[in-house]
Amino acid sequence: MPYLFTSESVSEGHPDKVADQISDALIDNFLAFDPSSKVACETLVTTGQVVLAGEIKTDTYLDVQKITRDVIRKIGYTKSEYMFEANSCGIFSALHDQSADINQGVDRKAVSEDFESRANAQGAGDQGMMFGYATNETDNYMPLPLDLAHAILREMSNIRNNETELMPYLRPDAKSQVTIEYSDDHQPIRIDTIVVSTQHDDFADDETMLAKIKEDIINIVIPRVKAAQNVELHSLFTGNITYYINPTGKFVIGGPHGDTGLTGRKIIVDTYGGKGAHGGGAFSGKDPSKVDRSAAYATRHIAKNLVAAGLCDQVLVQVSYAIGVAKPCGLYVNTYGTAKVDLHDGEIATKVEELFDMRPYAIEQRLKLRNPIYSETAAYGHMGRKNEIVKKTFGSNGHTKEVEVELFTWEKLDFVDKVKEAFGL
């Protein structure tokens, strides 16, 4: 019997995402000047106020106030009527040294500088389990409902920043939600419901305002999102979609003034929109020694390469760790009965363990995670993004540094041939 599945997304101006972006901007700046930095940085944002807290081990000094204000300004909180504004908000920093008890398990002295010695010396930054997922229902191997929910808000952000005259009332805070109807064999049939709530300027006439926003989203935003999809998906955009646009009505008060934001509160938006599974650990604000982040990227890398190689139609990969221990406690694979090889999932997992070194140091090296690549992950999802090389500029204590980095390395299909060879595909 057909079924419905729903995923949501939030914009870069959502208060939780504001917090994520500040935390990850700090990570990037620390790594740019000291790649060995260990950082766990949490951010809280509320009316006119930012609170930074966390643990840091680094050899560099940062102007955290300037970095924070730059992020808020880039997001678009630049007007006093927002009650949260880049130049005037208060910033309180409670960042302090990392616990030596935690650090001793992560930074054991390697016997030598060779790869094996360093990989065995660096233990996991915490215990826990991490999941990666991939499906062949989209070109980027992501679940379609989440992919469309992200696309709607990215297009609205593009309009707000680059085509202001089209929807001049848009403010930074927004949410979207997409419900897809699937067939018995898990193929998308149609879009059932689209929900969009966007912060906006005040209108003299609330009724006129609501009608205008709904008209613009249906007639401007959705056609652009449709046009950006593969032709095969265009048929999903029928005339029978149910739209809920700002269903509560007026949405002038938003952002950190409307709701307090915290780092790490949008972990399902950050990953797979509820498909697959999540181990519970947030990503933003954590350097790659924290396996909550690095191992989640590594399992996505595995899952995407397995599906892209044709091993299965969808797959969930789990890895788990003990704090201070390099070797994972276990690796689990679930192909949901879609495997194209005559092997049980446990046998597939054994082969995957041979292909992918999941020790924390090996993950950092394979995916180039000790680079300042994290600000780009902090809005519109950490998975399913474009792998590309960019130049970034950082400033600290009067010094400027330009670095060339590779973004979203875990999205590369660089293990497809190895998977095919290992499984005889």
From the CB of residue 135, how many other CB atoms can be counted at a distance below 10 Å?
A: 23
CB of 224 closer than 8 Å to CB of 155: yes
Output the DSSP codes for 81-143. Answer: GGT--TTT-EEEEEEEEPPHHHHHHHSPPPSSSSHHHHHHH--BSS-EEEEEEEETTSTTSS-
Tell me the β-bridge partners of 194.
178, 243
CA 115/CA 167 separation, integer angstroms:
54
Residue 227 assigned ligand-binding role? no
Residue 55 assigned ligand-binding role? yes
Residue 250 assigned ligand-binding role? yes
Residue 290 assigned ligand-binding role? yes
The DSSP code for 289 is T
For residue 151, the SS3 value is: helix
Residue 251 assigned ligand-binding role? yes
For residue 399, the SS3 value is: strand
User: And the tokens for 215?
Assistant: 């008209």
User: And the tokens for 32?
Assistant: 């740019």
User: And the tokens for 78?
Assistant: 């630049």
Which strand (E) or helix (H) includes residue 336? none
Residue 66 assigned ligand-binding role? no
Residue 391 assigned ligand-binding role? no
Residue 259 assigned ligand-binding role? yes
Residue 199 assigned ligand-binding role? no
Residue 16 assigned ligand-binding role? yes
Residue 304 assigned ligand-binding role? no
Residue 187 assigned ligand-binding role? no
List, as residue ranges, the binding site. Answer: 14, 16, 42, 55, 98, 173-175, 250-251, 259, 265-266, 282, 286, 290
List, as residue ranges, the binding site for ATP. Answer: 14, 173-175, 250-251, 259, 265-266, 282, 286
List, as residue ranges, the binding site for L-methionine. Answer: 55, 98, 259, 290
List, as residue ranges, the binding site for Mg(2+). Answer: 16
List, as residue ranges, the binding site for K(+). Answer: 42
